Chains A and B, each alone.
Chain A
Amino acid sequence: MFTQTSKPRLRDRVLRSPLVDLLTGPHGVDRYTELVEQTWTLGDSRAKIVAVRRQTTRSVTLTLEPNAAFRAGSAFRAGQHVNLSVEVAGRRLTRCYSPANAENDALVELTIGLHDGGAVSQHLYRNARPGMVVGLDGVGGEFVLPANRPRRILFVSGGSGITPVLSMLRTLVAEGYTGEIAFVHYARTATEACYRDELATLPSVRVLHGYTRSDDAADLVGRFGPEHLAAAMPNPEAVFACGPTELVDAVRAQCPDALSESFVPPVFTVPTEASGGRVAFADSGVDVVDDGRSLLEQAEAAGLSPESGCRMGICHTCTRRKTSGAVKNLITGAVSTTDGEDVQICVTAPVGDVELAL
């Protein structure tokens, strides 16, 4: 992105040419260049891990060097999130994380909190090492700083929710922001508070820590409320909050205009019969109430005619992308809750609300 010499541009022009596409067909040039270096792809947005830190015992911080395909995509704004894809036991899993780096940094920094039973966070906590390549794309989100920077800003975060607000803070610091900033962060214990040392080095920022599961010496005791607000910054001009739903709700109760983002780990219970959930065939704009039959039969009953073949789970003609929700494989009985996964709709039934690209 920063090397505007003619050489790499010529290389890109050659690689993108119709002739190279023909010669490398039908697989395409990426399927050859990636075998030399995994990040050498024009179409697939990827990044290489260049540094791994474990700041606390319950998190891992990755520094990522994105490839040209990522940089060619929409520019990252502080507070937004990206999709990180890793392969765990052969399966590609995608999770959404908010980078912690400042807006114009060439490198992307992700701090990933360890979730009990979380396949991706456990995998990265244990196995992330420099040189590893991950999928990185889908920059997006409305949780961003206004172009006209407010003069008095309060940031509130809980746990790994610190990353998008830290990204905003770092962006402001890099810009030479001269306004007033208070930064309130809640963690379970002092040792689990990410970025504590870095925050301590910012003299112009009023940093307050709260610990919810220990008696560690804290600046704030208990949960967010009027006292915490008063201690941090009374009447802030803008508030940005990110963390568990309870924290975000507590902030909004005090500051209704706060811009916020929260994360909830999905909880699914598996009923034994028709779940009665809402089945949305998103591309067709059709909704039905789950009657327990396969997604294919329910789509057909709703008047849709998706492509299908064997109707017994062998030919993969009916495979569709499930954007969200839990489903059950009618042959194996296995329940899957992964978002953005391909399912064979002839042998798959909903478990609760499901959205399907159909």
Chain B
Amino acid sequence: MTSSLIAPRVRTILEPTTVIVEPQAPAQVAITKIVGGKTVTMTPEQAENFGRELDAIRERVIADLGDRDATYIRRVIKAQRALEVGGRALLFAGILPPAWLAGTAMLAASKILDNMEIGHNVMHGQYDWMGDPALTSRNFEWDSACPSDQWRHSHNYMHHTYTNIVDMDRDIGYGILRMSEDQRWHPYYLGNPVYAFLLMVFFQYGVALHELETERIRSGEISIADKRDTIRGIWRKVKRQTLKDYVAFPLLAGPFAPWVFTGNLTANLIRNVWSYAIIFCGHFPDGTQEFSKEETANESRGMWYFRQVLGSANLTGGKLFHVMSGNLSFQIEHHLFPDLPAFRHEEISKEVQEICERYGVPYNKGPLPKQFGTVVRKICRLALPWT
């Protein structure tokens, strides 16, 4: 499938005057989806033009990358490091309630920035063009239990390439939840809301275990021995993160260890709940579509864009909200252009929305409480056998 995405483009560039004749490859078919009661159809011809218009946006932003992007990400990093150092320092005085509250809040904000606007985005290669080793996707490691190399595989490649294709995108339910009607019901899913709640509380560990593909181990498809290196990687990272937040920093505080310990625990919890809420609003709110393997075989680049828009949902809010959500509030733009610096998404979102409107493609957006509400409802509803 993937080679057919790129092959026609290669030929266009290398032989600009030649008429492109696609050998054998089965043609892309029209795709029809029912979204909120409305029928949405994308023909291969429309997809071609749709893709071309979106490509134009991408190329324009790439041509404009420069000082502004470098200054922005460095400013965010500076703010994150300052919040982290300040937060940890205040927690050393955590015996005083205001210091504990402020320290915990600052550390939580630092971890959120580190994981979302910095980590997630840098690891997508959004700043690779800068050539700064500290901002290169391959080198970057984040303040989370999940090892960055595993994340880049499960997220950048698997999730972003096969977004919302049932049985291919493991982000549909993360192998533990039922998040789509197309996942067959099983008595295990009666616990859907409980698993979802636990995943929220322990989100960083859930993310860390993602690459382990526990569902494939459980089904006997692979054995635990096949994942030995993955487990080692997770253990190494989890050990260091745990030692740092729950042993080293508390011990350094001497008699104030309990306040540092609870502050760090709370900061990690806040980051877990927040990132869970934002991420679950990316693909699970009402209206987002799933796709089958058959629908997406021989998919063209334009149709890939179509799937990304239908499979994602945006969150509305102010500037600070977007920064604190790592601009994943522009999930649609992020899925169309995963390697464009995320703070650019707001600027291009109007245009993307306008293009979608012209092609009759629904552009799903709403405020966090509303979108998250529909997600919670879905989690509970899909626990039931008749759904």
Residues B36-91 near A (CB distance < 8 A): 55, 59, 62, 65-71, 77-78, 81-82, 85
Instruction: Please tell me if the beta carbons of B248 and A316 are within 8 angstroms of each other in the complex.
Output: no
Instruction: Given A90-B130, A312-B301, decide whether A319 and B153 contact each other with a Cβ distance below 8 A.
Output: no
Residues B1-40 near A (CB distance < 8 A): 2-3, 5-6, 9-10, 13-16
Q: Which residue of A has the minimal Cβ distance to B157? A: A309
* A71 in contact (CB, < 8 A): no
Query: In this complex, which of A92, A273, A344 has the most chain B Cβ atoms within 10 angstroms of its Cβ?
Result: A92
Instruction: Please tell me if the beta carbons of B161 and A341 are within 8 angstroms of each other in the complex.
Output: no
Q: How far is the CB of A275 from chain B (nearest CB, A)?
A: 10
Instruction: Please tell me if the beta carbons of A272 and B16 are within 8 angstroms of each other in the complex.
Output: yes
CB < 8 Å neighbour of A35 from B62, B78, B241: B78
* B290 in contact (CB, < 8 A): no
Stretch in A25-33, A111-119, A251-259 with 4+ CB within 8 Å of B: A25-33
Stretch in B138-146, B216-224, B281-289 with 4+ CB within 8 Å of A: B138-146
* Cα–Cα distance between A19 and B240 once the two chains are bound (Å): 11
Interface residues on B, range: 35 or more
Instruction: Please tell me if the beta carbons of B13 and A90 are within 8 angstroms of each other in the complex.
Output: no
* A332 in contact (CB, < 8 A): yes
CB < 8 Å neighbour of B161 from A274, A310, A349: A310
CB < 8 Å neighbour of A316 from B124, B142, B244: B124
Instruction: Please tell me if the beta carbons of A332 and B128 are within 8 angstroms of each other in the complex.
Output: no
* B344 in contact (CB, < 8 A): no
* B353 in contact (CB, < 8 A): no
Instruction: Please tell me if the beta carbons of B66 and A342 are within 8 angstroms of each other in the complex.
Output: no
* B249 in contact (CB, < 8 A): yes
Instruction: Please tell me if the beta carbons of B129 and A309 are within 8 angstroms of each other in the complex.
Output: no
Interface string of A235-246 (1 = CB under 8 A from B): 000000000000
Instruction: Given A35-B81, A292-B14, A309-B153, decide whether A26 and B142 contact each other with a Cβ distance below 8 A.
Output: yes
Q: How far is the CB of A107 from chain B (nearest CB, A)?
A: 25
Interfacial chain A residues near B249, Cβ < 8 Å: 23
Query: In this complex, which of B71, B125, B141 has the most chain A Cβ atoms within 10 angstroms of its Cβ?
Result: B125
* A141 in contact (CB, < 8 A): no
CB < 8 Å neighbour of B131 from A292, A309, A342, A349: A342
Residues A306-334 near B (CB distance < 8 A): 309-317, 319, 328, 330-333
Instruction: Please tell me if the beta carbons of A92 and B130 are within 8 angstroms of each other in the complex.
Output: yes
Instruction: Please tell me if the beta carbons of A331 and B9 are within 8 angstroms of each other in the complex.
Output: yes
Q: How far is the CB of B134 from chain A (nearest CB, A)?
A: 6
* Cα–Cα distance between A35 and B138 once the two chains are bound (Å): 22
* A346 in contact (CB, < 8 A): yes
Interfacial chain A residues near B304, Cβ < 8 Å: 312
Instruction: Given A314-B161, A342-B128, decide whether A31 and B156 contact each other with a Cβ distance below 8 A.
Output: no
Q: Which residue of A has the minimal Cβ distance to B125? A: A316
Instruction: Given A26-B143, A35-B78, A315-B152, decide whether A92 and B6 contact each other with a Cβ distance below 8 A.
Output: no
* A294 in contact (CB, < 8 A): yes
Instruction: Please tell me if the beta carbons of A310 and B131 are within 8 angstroms of each other in the complex.
Output: no
* A293 in contact (CB, < 8 A): yes
* Cα–Cα distance between A313 and B141 once the two chains are bound (Å): 22
Instruction: Please tell me if the beta carbons of B6 and A312 are within 8 angstroms of each other in the complex.
Output: yes
* B137 in contact (CB, < 8 A): yes
Instruction: Please tell me if the beta carbons of B132 and A92 are within 8 angstroms of each other in the complex.
Output: yes
* Cα–Cα distance between A91 and B67 once the two chains are bound (Å): 8
Q: How far is the CB of B342 from chain A (nearest CB, A)?
A: 14
* Cα–Cα distance between A316 and B128 once the two chains are bound (Å): 9
Interface string of A23-66 (1 = CB under 8 A from B): 10111000110010000000010000000000000000000000
* Cα–Cα distance between A148 and B329 once the two chains are bound (Å): 68
Interface string of A334-358 (1 = CB under 8 A from B): 0000000110101101000000000
Q: Which residue of A has the minimal Cβ distance to B62? A: A332
Instruction: Please tell me if the beta carbons of A26 and B131 are within 8 angstroms of each other in the complex.
Output: no
Instruction: Given A91-B129, A319-B128, decide whether A312 and B13 contact each other with a Cβ distance below 8 A.
Output: no
Instruction: Please tell me if the beta carbons of B125 and A319 are within 8 angstroms of each other in the complex.
Output: yes
Interface residues of A (CB under 8 A from B): 19, 22-23, 25-27, 31-32, 35, 44, 87, 89-93, 272-274, 292-294, 309-317, 319, 328, 330-333, 341-342, 344, 346-347, 349
A-B contact pairs, 18 of them (CB 8 A): A22-B248, A26-B142, A44-B133, A87-B130, A90-B129, A91-B129, A272-B14, A294-B6, A312-B2, A315-B152, A316-B124, A316-B137, A316-B138, A319-B137, A330-B13, A331-B9, A342-B131, A347-B6
Task: Give the 8 A-B residue pairs with the shortest CB-CB distance, closest first.
Answer: A309-B157, A316-B125, A90-B70, A92-B131, A26-B141, A315-B156, A89-B66, A310-B161
